[in-house]
Structure 1
Amino acid sequence: MTEESNGTLVLDDLLEILKDLSNYYDDLNISGNSSSGGFLPDPGTFACEPFTVSLALSILVCTFYLLVFFLAVPGNLVAAVAIGSSHRALSPSELYLRHLAIADGLLALTLPLWAVAALRGWTFGDSPCKLASLVLEGSFYSSMLLLACISVERYRLIVRAAQSRNEACRRRGSWLACAAVWVVGGALSLPALLKGQVQPVGSVWPVCEENYSPEAAAAWRLATRLLRHTLGFLLPLAVMLTCCWSTAERLRRTRGRRGQRARRLISAVIPAFLLCWAPHHLAVMVDTLQRISLVPGGCEARRVVGAAIFSTQVLGVLHSAINPVLYAFISHDFRRRMCQRLCGQRAADREVPPRGSRSLSQNSDGVSTAL
């Protein structure tokens, strides 16, 4: 074979390679541009650029997280100590409130990590990522379920006028309910523990998030999020709304200062929780529907949803600092115990309610002792 024929074969091979490359570009939906003579990529074939946070917003979020931390940790600590300061056994409502303060306090303890992550990205590694995500999500779901338990207890005592002759049985049931709440809350947050991982986002910084394999991501995300939305939010919310509505209607027909105070508190608890956490759940629901292609959305829509998830989660952590403030308006008894711990017995005696003020039912809780 001559040198000229060898050169012809090489040229033919190069032409075949160029033809294959042209077909490959066509498969990638890359079309020619007659005005420039080059190739313009189809935007639909590229991964969307992630939502990015400006430096000013990062500083604001970091400051907000630290502020909530400094308010929520001591606030919930004081609440947990004050609720358990009585020498008698805790009533079911008091037990739920104490566990609620513990859950909110645990959530608040993770905020310094998230504050640093807002400024520098997640630089603490995979294990702290898993643990912080587990505590954050587990505390949220436990708080939601405990609020539902409190609503049911209030409904039982006020609407059903349950008597206190089965007090020991009620206390045992409340301990079992608290154990079940922590188990369910932990189970709902297991994906964060098992799949939590530090992931790079573009060239900005690493983030702590759940990471699924590409082939199973849609199925896993749909299954876990449906369980979280249903068991961790929608079902407890339905219980809270039903019980609190019935309790408020019963209190509306009750005269007296205590009935009015309890009614105002009940009307504040649900809106406070919804204001803090419902927007985040709605944003996550939209993100879930987008990821499984049930809701259409391009890159811009996904960036908007990403921004909504980020901002609403910032709002959600505020709930851990709001609850201790609500506790302070729950009852004279709570304020008296708190004053006794902080200011001494003499100041606490001023918080004793008038003798003529009695609750709706003669039980150890009293209408205003819990939500």
Structure 2
Amino acid sequence: MDNSTTATEVSAPTDYDYSSASYDDDNPNAAPCSLRETWNFLGRFAPVAYIMVFILALVGNILVLCVIRRYRQSRHSPCSFSLTDTFLLHLAVSDLLLAATLPFFAVEWISEWVFGKVMCKITGALFSLNVYCGVLFLACISFDRYLAIVHAINISWRRKTCHAQLACAFIWVICLGLSMVDMHFRDLVQIPGMNRMVCQIVYSEQYSKQWQIGMQLVSMVLGFILPLLVMLYCYLHIFKALCHATRRQKRRSLRLIISLVIVFVISWAPYNALRMTDSLQMLGVIVKSCALNNVLDVGILVTESLGLAHCALNPLLYGLVGVKFRRELAQMCKAALGPQGCLGLVGWANGRGSSTRRPTGSFSSVETENTSYFSVMA
């Protein structure tokens, strides 16, 4: 069994191999690598990071869901959504479910896992499910923008949400199947010499390395490489379609395209690079050592926290940038607090010199006048 202390899956924030102490392979006579210093640092960093992401993701995605619900009720038709509106709804739900798991792991880092074996399996599977779903829904949003802008797919076809619902159902089923692997192998493990229980994936002795490397490869392909390739392909073609535009809103759309790709890469590339290093170490390509194990332990959790922050940024990147989304938000605020309580928000939502007339059509439509040509919820 691999004795490294590094994280091995994308399935939960605490997947470290604490089941046995690791040794420095450069010196067979050396004592086991100490986990105490690493645990002390991560025990201070992880709870703060997880709780901050939880709060920001909770507020932002609940706001998105409230605005979508209000918009749907005002149209009195479940088919009034565009494909992107449906993808955005599922993305917000996925990000909320992901954020809901973080307080459990924050408590684990503060003390230990106190919620029992059943909750360990459920929470780990829920985390894994929504990490996969979130990035795949981002890829779907990119593809829908590509169809709308580059190929100008007819809006009447795009407004039929059955296409998006089928795609979303397929994504949920595939990701649920992958998360069942997490649920099957997740268990409670005591940290050697520290008398603390943690919730982690525990593979059998016979299939340990094969399963670890195989699941890392699957999670890297589905959780980063495939969505990134789809986003790059779609946004590069969108960029080429809009690069000769002179309208100010089109120029803003180009900047938004660049921002979406850069934020996604910054959020998830460091984490996947470290996990690739961990896989190479397990395969023997990279020589194991206590120093490398400590770097991977700390680096994987810190970069994973950066990746998790993406679920808190999604409402800003895919919601508040849209003119119609801001208008719906202003209308919701006006209904709750009255006109005088939302004067600043109404002005911000309408934008400089724009009309206060309620827009028609899907709030993610790029064909509507006076909206961004790219903003997902324009």
**Normalising by structure 2, what TM-score?**
0.79
Match of 1:370 in 2: 376
One-letter identity of the residue aligned with 1:191 = V
Equivalence for 1:59? 44
Partner residue, 2:192: 202
| Contact persistence 1:188–1:232 (CA under 8 A) | no
In the TM superposition, residue 284 of structure 1 has moved relative to its aligned partner by: 1.5
For 1:272 and 1:171, how far apart are their aligned partners in 2? Answer: 28
Given the alignment of the two structures, is residue 71 of structure 1 paired with residue 56 of structure 2, yes or no?
yes
Does 1:137 find its partner at 2:143?
Answer: no
Q: What does residue range 329-348 of structure 1 map to in structure 2 within 5 Å?
A: 329-344=320-335, 346=339, 347=342
Partner of 2:208: 217
Name the residue aligned to 2:284: 293
Q: Deviations over 1:143-175 (max 9, x none)?
A: 11001001000011111111224245x421111
| Correspondence 1:163 to 2:154 | yes
Deviation at 1:48, TM superposition (A): 4.2
Retained in 1: the 8 A contact 2:38–2:294? Answer: no
1:180 alignment partner, one of 159, 170, 176 = 170
Q: Which has the higher contact order (CA 8 A, sep 6+)?
A: 2
User: Quick check: 2:60–2:315 contact (8 Å CA) kept in 1?
Assistant: yes
Change in CA separation of 1:293 and 1:51 when aligned onto 2, cut-off 3 Å: farther
Does 237-246 or 343-352 show the bigger shift? Answer: 343-352
Aligned to 1:18: none
SS of the residue aligned with 1:162? coil
1:45 is displaced (CA, Å) by: 8.0
- Secondary structure of 1:53's aligned partner: helix
Shift in Å, 1:210: 0.7
Whichever residue aligns with residue 257 of structure 1, its letter is R
* Corresponding position of 2:6: none
* Amino acid of the structure 2 residue aligned with 1:143: G
Letter in 2 for 1:367: Y
**Residue 192 (str. 1) matches residue 192 (str. 2):** no
- Pick one of 50, 59, 68 that aligns with 1:83: 68
- 1:282, distance to aligned residue in structure 2 (A): 1.5
Matched, 1:310 2:301: yes
- Gap change, CA 1:77 and 1:121, over 3 Å in 2: same
SS of the residue aligned with 2:126? helix
TM-superposed CA distance for 1:293, in Å, is 2.0
Q: Is the 8 A contact 2:38 2:297 kept in 1?
A: no
Q: Using the alignment, how far apart are the partners of 1:294 and 1:194 within structure 2? A: 29
Separation in 2, partners of 1:102, 1:234: 23
* Distance in 2, Cα, partners of 1:42 & 1:171: 61
Does the alignment pair 1:252 with 2:258? no
**1:141, CA displacement in angstroms?**
0.8
The amino acid across from 1:325 in the alignment is L
Would you say the 8 A contact 1:71–1:321 is kept in 2?
yes
The residue type equivalent to 1:93 in the other structure is: T
Alignment counterpart, residue 146 of structure 1, candidates 137, 140, 163: 137
Runs of 4+ in structure 1 deviating by more than 6 angstroms, as ranges, are 355-360
Amino acid at match of 2:243: R
Bigger shift: 55-64 or 322-331?
A: 55-64
Q: Where in structure 2 are the equivalents of 1:230-241 lying within 5 Å?
A: 230-241=221-232
Unaligned runs of 5+ in 2: 1-25
Q: How many residues align?
A: 330
Counterpart amino acid of residue 67 in structure 2: A
Amino acid at match of 1:126: K
Root-mean-square deviation over aligned CA pairs: 2.9
Secondary structure class of the residue paired with 1:197: strand
Give the deviation of 1:52 after TM superposition: 4.3
User: 2:38 is paired with a residue of what secondary structure?
Assistant: coil
**Partners of 1:333 and 1:369 within 8 A in 2:** no
**CA shift in 2, pair 1:51/1:284, >3 Å:** farther
Aligned equivalents of 1:240, 1:282: Cα separation in 2: 19
Q: Aligned partners of 1:56, 1:295: CA distance in 2, in Å?
A: 25
Query: Which whole-Å CA distance do the structure 2 matches of 1:163 and 1:362 have between them?
Result: 13
